[in-house]
Amino acid sequence: MADSEVDLETEQYAKHREAGEILAQVREETADRVEVDVSHLEVAEYAEDRIRELGGKPAFPVNISIDEEAAHATPSIDDETTFGEEMINLDIGVHVDGWLADTAITVDLSGHDDLAEAPAAALEAALDMIEPGVETGEIGAEIESVIDDYGFNPVVNLTGHGLGHWEQHTSPTIPNRAVSQGTTLEVGDVVAIEPFATDGGGKVTEGASEEIFSLEREGTIRNRQARQALDQITEEFRTLPFATRWLETGRAEMALRRLKRNDIVHGYPVLKEDDGCLVSQKEHTIIVTPDGCEVTTA
């Protein structure tokens, strides 16, 4: 479909916008609740409950990443962890009938103001250059340049991404560094731009902890608890990520182990900066328009 034929007033885009509006409000309310000695679980459950109160549903479990953690950290059902004088990244998603919005913010309680500011400045610079025809590699080069000007490194193996129907990560990929080959953005693309900055080397690797999962394939399983969990997953979450603590079956962790062993679900290990250094993050979801972009999560 030619750009001129893309109708940005269809129900699909209305639901993307509704998800973004809910998410912008929840992001600010949730960030205000992050203080020393407040529990991670309290903040995550507040955000997820508030999303539902406002008419949306969580697109994935609230990510609460601390210091060297970059993504995929969320509290367990009985988590008693509290915030300290740390760098905290909140990554939150909303969907309305499967149409998504995704946003993130750094709440810095560690005193590293410049590092917290770097991805926010990089995001603003990226948004300024979004228009039909821009190459994703050019966006990545701008993000890298801004973060470099702050004296830090982008996290090069994490990227922004497209948002599909019941799909959290689709094409195009939006790199956080310059790349020679990219994708050309078109009118109607719905994209999450997601700079990460670090005072380390700029790469993340998988840790051992997993609290977030998603459906890998349809399947059958004999164990009763695993079958109950699978029914909830397929009916409520579909292909979107979910938290262990969201499952209503008894012995949820054992049920998930069985489902994972049968390749029915896969886990998302917590991602950590290779050198154990701090990571900051800022993210907005945008719709590419004929003359630029519309930020749905502003």
Could you list the residue range(s) of the whole structural domain that residue 172 is in? Answer: 3-203+279-295
Instruction: Tell whether 97 and 14 lie within a shared domain.
Output: yes
Catalogue the active-site residues: 91, 102, 161, 169, 194, 283
Helix 252-261 vs helix 224-232: angle between axes, to the nearest 10 degrees?
90
Residue 139: name the closest of 89, 91, 192, 100 by CA: 192
Instruction: Tell whether 104 and 117 lie within a shared domain.
Output: yes
- Please identify which residue in the block is written with the tokens 């998302």: 268
Q: Please give the pLDDT value at position 181.
A: 85
Binding-site residues for a divalent metal cation sit at 91, 102, 161, 194, 283
| Alpha carbon distance 104, 26 (integer Å) | 11
Total number of domains constituting the chain = 2
Helix 136-149 vs helix 113-129: angle between axes, to the nearest 10 degrees?
150
DSSP string, 91-128: EEEEEETTEEEEEEEEEE-SS-HHHHHHHHHHHHHHHH
Q: Please give the pLDDT value at position 4.
A: 54
Residue 108: name the closest of 99, 100, 116, 120 by CA: 116
| Alpha carbon distance 204, 88 (integer Å) | 16
Q: Which residues of the chain have a pLDDT value below 70?
A: 1-4
Instruction: Tell whether 234 and 119 lie within a shared domain.
Output: no
Residue 196: name the closest of 257, 153, 255 by CA: 153
Q: Please give the pLDDT value at position 2.
A: 44
CB atoms within 10 A of CB 80: 9
Q: Please give the pLDDT value at position 235.
A: 97
Q: Please give the pLDDT value at position 1.
A: 39
Query: What CATH number is attached to the domain comprising 267?
Result: 1.10.10.10
Instruction: Tell whether 139 and 242 lie within a shared domain.
Output: no
In degrees, to the nearest 5, what angle opens at C-alpha 97 toward C-alphas 96 and 101? 35
| Alpha carbon distance 142, 125 (integer Å) | 7
Query: What CATH number is attached to the domain comprising 87?
Result: 3.90.230.10
pTM value? Answer: 0.96
Binding-site residues sit at 72, 91, 102, 161, 169, 194, 283
- Please identify which residue in the block is written with the tokens 């509704």: 18
Instruction: Tell whether 193 and 222 lie within a shared domain.
Output: no
Q: Please give the pLDDT value at position 121.
A: 98
Instruction: Tell whether 150 and 220 lie within a shared domain.
Output: no
Instruction: Tell whether 179 and 79 lie within a shared domain.
Output: yes
